[in-house]
Structures are given as C-alpha cells and as structure tokens.
Amino acid sequence: MTPEIHQLDETDKRILLAMDPDPRIPVMMLAQILGLARGTVQARLEKLAASGALRPNSIRVSPAALGRGVSAAVSAEVDQSLLNEAIAALREIPEVLDCVAPAGDTDLLIRVAAKDPDDLYRVSEVIRLCPGIKRTSTSMFLREVIPYRTTGLLEE
C-alpha cells in the first residue's frame, strides 16, 4: 500500500519556491529569506521528504502532494506540419508533467497528473483538442513499482 502523501500548505509552497533557484541553499539562509525559524524550515523539509511529497534528494514536488494523485501516459499522433504548435499548446496545460518524442508509432508521449479519473478524462480531452493533435490514447498508471532513479547508473 502506498503511504499517504503530505498535502502542501502555503508555508511548504513558500519554502519550495524559495529553493527552486538553488535547491542546495543552506537551511539557515532559507529561513532568513522567508522570515521563518531555522527549526521550522528544517522540520518542514524533513516532513516533506519523509512523507514522499519530495522526491528523494530533489526539490521536485510529487503531484499527489498538490492534489493530483492520478498519473497517466497520453500518447498522441500529431500532424507533423503542426508539431511545434502542438508542443506549444501542451506547454500551457498545467497537468502536463513532461513530454517526449519516442521512436515508433507514437509521435508524442505525454505524462500527466490529474485529481481523479474524471479529471484525467478532462485533461486527456484538453490534450486531444490541441492544434495538430489528430488522435490520443490514455493509459492510467495504477501504481509506481520502480520509482525514478539514477543510482544504478552512478554505480556502473
């Protein structure tokens, strides 16, 4: 069973936004910038990391911590003459986490986050209606079985 992700409050969001330009900023300096006690900032960061709201050793926020607990991949077939327009439109959709152009039959593979299955349907429709996108197929992820990692690559 997946542990419940800590939902971010305004203080958490302020801390994360302040860390965005430099994720390695010392806690003391971060506390001074935000006008918070050092202990408060340290405790918040530890709580975020322990709850899974932060990816390990990263300032990236888990979409579940932002109320987007449903993840999916949307594959899209694109009119190649409108590829740049499609990508520009996808950039404007907040629920689009990343987009890659894979080899094979799929033109674009888009990872998205949504609140629930109904919201996923809405997000998929927003993507389908982007200029240049001819057809989409959505696959909802049931659970993460191997989280994003690079440690194995570093150990080679």
**Domains (ranges, CATH) in the chain?**
10-65 (1.10.10), 68-141 (3.30.70.920)
Give the pTM.
0.70
Q: How many residues are recorded in the chain?
A: 156
**Nearest to 1, CA basis, from 154, 155, 143, 130:** 143
- Per-position DSSP letters for the chain, written without gaps between them: -PPPPPPP-HHHHHHHHHHTT-TT--HHHHHHHHT--HHHHHHHHHHHHHHTSB-TTS-PBPGGGGT--EEEEEEEEE-GGGHHHHHHHHHT-TTEEEEE--SSS-SEEEEEEESSHHHHHHHHHHHHTSTTEEEEEEEEE---SS----HHHHH-
Contacts 24+ apart (CB under 8 A), 22-29: 23/58, 23/59
Structure tokens at 65: 């911590």
Per-residue pLDDT band at 1 (split at 50, 70, 90) = very low
Contact 138, 124 (CB under 8 A): yes
pLDDT digits (tens, 9 = 90+) for 96-147: 999 999 999 999 999 999 999 999 999 999 999 999 999 999 999 999 999 8
pLDDT digits (tens, 9 = 90+) for 7-51: 788 898 889 888 877 878 999 999 999 999 999 999 999 988 888
